[in-house]
Amino acid sequence: MFGYRVPAPDEAMLISGGRRGLEGAPFRVVTGHGKFVLPVFRKTRFLTLAMCEAEVAETCVTRQGIALTVRAVIAFKVGNDHESIVNAGQRFLSDQDQMAVLTGRIFAGHLRSIIGSMTVEEIVTERQKLATEVLETSKSEMAKIGLIVDSLQIQSIDDGDAGYIKAMAAPHKAAIQRAAQVAQAQATQAAAEAEQAASRNQAEYARQTAVVKAQYSAEVDRAQAQAAQAGPLAAAHAQQEVLSAQTELAQRAAELRQQQLVAEIVKPAEAEAERIRVLALAEAERMKIQAEAAASHDRVALDRMLIDQLPLIVKEAAGGLAGANVNVLNGADGLGEIAAGLVGQGLTILDSVRRNLGTPSGNGDEDQRPARKQLNGGQIDVD
């Protein structure tokens, strides 16, 4: 629209003519919005609020008297507040490039002042301290002209041909070089050790591989040999088992044959020998009996008489039991034993009588005294 003006976001619109601005300023300041301006009665100008840059390359002398060339970069701008815009507008509106020139000169003066109170070592090692002190000392002066400094960067510090900074850095450089050499030597040694270890590992791997291959080859050869010998060995084992079975069969046949021989020859021979021995004994006994019979032919009549008297003798012996207390404990067997005892007593009496009569009974050395037999309380005497 004709007569309506709008400043850019990084600009301040200064309207002169008409009534004054705030706090007696010769113009009104408009930022962030538009304003209707009468074309003939008002005049409009624009002041940049963007970031500006100023470079400083100043030769400064330190407290030690050593000249240093210091290069720095200052980032600054017009302040956003109304007072800063008014101050900057009154000074730089017609030639805004002068802001960078004036800022550089201001900072150059402060650099010379601050560096003159410091040593080279402090300047080199404490650049941030130098920048901070320069900013602090220039802040009030920059505010008067409506400018604020966002940052100050020391780009370089050079002593020319004096060689002071180089000499100052020499010990550190030598130490660094020594450390670098030591590190390089250690790295070289570590690399050599690693290479040696790798070589040893390769050699060990090769050796183990050879051993494994040799073992594998030996196993294969042994397996092949066993496979080749499996047939003959199996046949030999089978033959050995056949021989063992045949031997056992022969042993059993020999045992059976021995048993057969014993049954067929030895036992019949033993039986025959026993038969012959028994016949011989019987014959000898027969001949003995015949001899005894011939010798005792004269006693037959006497023995016959005594035998005829035997029942009477037994009867008399049994009569002796009539008054005796006899207990039979085992029934018929006990009675049989008593009867046998009576007969035995009768034979004993008969033998005694025969001895008294001078008739031998078979043993000539027997006692010739009268016999007496006692049976369970009864007593028989024979004179």
Percent of the chain with pLDDT strictly greater than 90: 16
CB 124 within 8 A of CB 168: yes
Distance of CA 113 to the CA centre of its chain: 77
Q: pLDDT tens digit string along 276-329?
A: 888 888 888 888 887 776 666 555 555 666 566 667 665 665 665 555 555 545
Top mean pLDDT of 177-186, 243-252, 328-337 is at 177-186
Averaged pLDDT, 36-52? 86
What is the average pLDDT value for the chain, to the nearest integer?
78
Closest to 122 measured CA to CA, from 75, 157, 166, 173: 157
From residue 127, give the alpha-carbon distance in Å to each of 35, 165, 171: 47, 14, 20
Between CA 23 and CA 224 the distance in angstroms is 116
Mean pLDDT of 26-35: 85
pLDDT of residue 368: 40
Report DSSP state, residue 96. Answer: T
Domain residue spans of the chain:
4-46, 51-162, 301-381
Q: How would you classify the pairing of strands 35-36 and 372-375?
A: unpaired
Is residue 74's pLDDT more than 90?
yes
CA distances from 357 to 24, 60, 343, 354 (A): 206, 189, 21, 5
CATH of domain 51-162: 3.30.479.30
E strand or H helix at 107 = helix 98-115
Residue-wise pLDDT tens digits, 148-206: 998 899 888 888 888 888 888 788 778 888 889 899 899 999 999 998 999 889 888 88
Residue 50: predicted pLDDT? 92
Confidence band for 364, pLDDT divided at 50, 70 and 90 = very low
Distance between CA atoms of residues 342 and 319, nearest Å: 10
